[in-house]
Amino acid sequence: MRIAVDCYEVTKELTGVGRVIHNILLSLCREQGRYEFHVFSRQEVKDYSKCRNIKQYVLPEDKGYFRWQNGSFFRGVKECHPELLIAPNYTLPFFVRTKSIVFEHDVSFASHPEWFPKKEVLKRKYFVKRSLRKASLILTLSEVSKQEIIRHYSVSPGKIKVLYLGAGENFMPAAETEVSRWKEKKGIKGRKVIGFLGSIFNRRNVPHLVEAVRHLRTEFPEIMLYIVGKDLTYPPQNMRRILNEEWILWEESIQESELPLYFSSLDVFAYLSEYEGFGLPPLEALSCGTVPVLLKKGALAEVYSEFSLMAENPDAEEIQYHLKRALKDQDRMDTLMRAFKKKRSYFSWGRVAGEFSAAMDEVLHGK
């Protein structure tokens, strides 16, 4: 069974879309002989060379994703004659005729066009609408996202399946000695640390988080804020000025292998996002033993309400209240962590891959 996979987003810095499809593929590597994946990417991925059922093609970078997807990738797909095409990055190639599964992680551009340049909104709406109509099956990451797709694009509910994500087995609490070395390396040893990890969008309210921590420091002067993520704010905010404080450590990225250490080193993980398709960082924080403070909205409320502190609004005072509670109410934190540990086995990439495999069988064989 030949399956072509768009791995444009699978690069050395695995984030978002790239991390999702990469982890699914690695889990499906164990099913030798059942699938033959023809993976097309911009960079060589060493992990795939160890998988007998993955054939990797490195295609030259083009001027943007649309040109790459509809140029060298589309030509490669035609040459390998797949029975199924997997499109994990929101859209299908323009002229594809193969049976296909498209991932629609969210439709933020349709629900909140004010968060994007007008030209980008128009382009996304057009190509997503076309792709959703042509796809054999649509995968999305939460019931909230499913309902938004139905509302904005009038897609039949039966054509959409919800696929909750997982955290890798490497996401677990790190040993105290490793955490101590990590904190010393980063210059935060002996400090209480509140963290945020993810691309910095306006909807994730990082400036409000900064203001909340600023006020919290009057009671906890030893607190540091550790931000990891690139500034992608639109309309642009002056994040360099906002994050220019001696008690803030800001790095645009850290290595994938260091993520469990990062989450394990935090006293609190804060992810005050007004909109997510799923929100993977809170799951990885929980897997490393750190309870998150989240905004009680959308997919975050759907997925994490049982094991997180939830702020009703993204204002600094509300955020400060929940951060303080996370720092002082250890009994509550322990209760939330116990609730998560009961569900941890469900949030595995093995389970995700199994559901994904069933989705492929449904498209190919009508099972």
If residue 3 lies in a helix (H) or strand (E), which one and from where to where? strand 2-7
Q: How confident is the model at residue 51 (pLDDT cuts 50, 70, 90)?
A: confident
Residues 157-174: b if buried by 16+ CB within 10 A, e if exposed: eeebbebbbbbbeebeeb
More confident residue, 18 or 102: 102
pLDDT band per the 50, 70, 90 thresholds, residue 88:
very high
Contacts of residue 122, Cβ cutoff 8 Å, sequence gap at least 6: none
- The predicted pLDDT at position 60 comes to 85
| Chain CA centroid to CA 347, Å | 14
Cβ neighbours of residue 69 closer than 8 Å, sequence gap 6 or more? 6, 8, 89, 91, 93
Rounded to whole angstroms, the Cα distance separating 225 from 193 reads 6
* Paired tokens of 127: 């190509």
Using CA atoms, how far residue 46 sits from 12, 245, 294, 296, 325, in Å, is: 10, 39, 35, 39, 44
Residue 195 CA from chain centroid, whole number: 16
Please check the confidence at residue 284 and state whether its pLDDT lies above 80: yes
Return the pLDDT at 202: 95
- DSSP, res 10: -
Least confident residue range of 45-59, 186-200, 270-284: 45-59
Place of tokens 């690695």: 26
Q: Is the pLDDT of residue 311 over 90?
A: yes
CA nearest neighbour of 36 among 77, 6, 7, 2: 2
Please provide residue 210's backbone torsions phi and psi, each rounded to the nearest 5 degrees. Answer: -60, -45
Read off the tokens for 253: 């990225």
Q: If pLDDT is split at 50, 70 and 90, which confidence band does 367 have?
A: low
Residues with Cβ within 8 Å of residue 249, at least 6 apart in sequence:
186, 187, 188, 224, 225, 226, 227
Question: What is the pLDDT, as a whole number, of residue 13?
Answer: 73
Mean pLDDT is highest, among 59-63, 95-99, 123-127, 224-228, for 224-228
Rounded CA gap, 191 and 188, in Å?
Answer: 6
Mean pLDDT of 152-172: 95
- pTM greater than 0.75 (yes/no): yes
pLDDT at 352 over 80: yes
Picking from 180, 177, 270, the residue whose alpha carbon sits closest to that of residue 216 is: 270
Q: What is the mean pLDDT of the chain?
A: 93
pLDDT for the residue 31: 61
At 59 the three-state DSSP class reads coil
Domains of the chain: 2-166+348-365 (3.40.50.2000), 176-343 (3.40.50.2000)
pLDDT at residue 259, rounded to an integer: 95
Percent of the chain with pLDDT strictly greater than 90: 87
DSSP state of 31: S
Q: In this structure, what are the phi and psi dihedrals at residue 123, rounded to the nearest 5 degrees?
A: -65, -45
Q: What pLDDT was estimated at residue 256? A: 86
Question: What is the maximal distance between C-alpha atoms in the chain?
Answer: 64
CA 20 to chain centre: 7
The whole-number pLDDT of residue 1 equals: 84
Cα gap 218→262, rounded to integer Å: 25
Cα 277–chain centre separation: 8
Lowest mean pLDDT among 4-18, 148-162, 240-254, 347-361: 4-18
| Cβ neighbours of residue 246 closer than 8 Å, sequence gap 6 or more | none
Pick the range with the lowest mean pLDDT from 26-30, 124-128, 153-157, 244-248. Answer: 26-30
**Model pLDDT, residue 29:** 82
The answer to whether 213 and 227 are in contact (CB under 8 A) is no
User: 3-state SS of 313-338?
Assistant: CCCHHHHHHHHHHHHHCHHHHHHHHH
Q: For residues 199 and 229, is the Cβ–Cβ distance under 8 A?
A: yes
Confidence at residue 296, expressed as pLDDT on a 0 to 100 scale? 96
